[in-house]
Amino acid sequence: MVRNPETLQECIENARLRLYQMANQYTSLQHPEVIRQSMVLDELINEYNDAKRFISQRNHHS
C-alpha cells in the first residue's frame, strides 16, 4: 500500500527537523545516529517519490 504523499511530506519534515537537531546535538555529520537518521529521511523521500509516481501513473491510465 502506497502512503498518501501529503502524509509523507509531514513525515519528511519531521525527519528532517530531527536530523538537524541530531547534527547539532552530536556536532558531527559522521555520528552513527546522525547517519541513521539521514537514512530514515532518505527512505521517506524515496517513498514519497514512489507515491507520486504511482499516482501519476494511475491518473495517466484512467
Burial class (CB in 10 A: 0-12, 13-18, 19+), 31: middle
Task: Give me 25's grid cell.
Answer: 546535538
pLDDT at 45 over 80: yes
| Per-residue model confidence (pLDDT) at position 61 | 74
pLDDT at 31 over 70: yes
- How many whole angstroms separate alpha carbon 26 and alpha carbon 31? 7
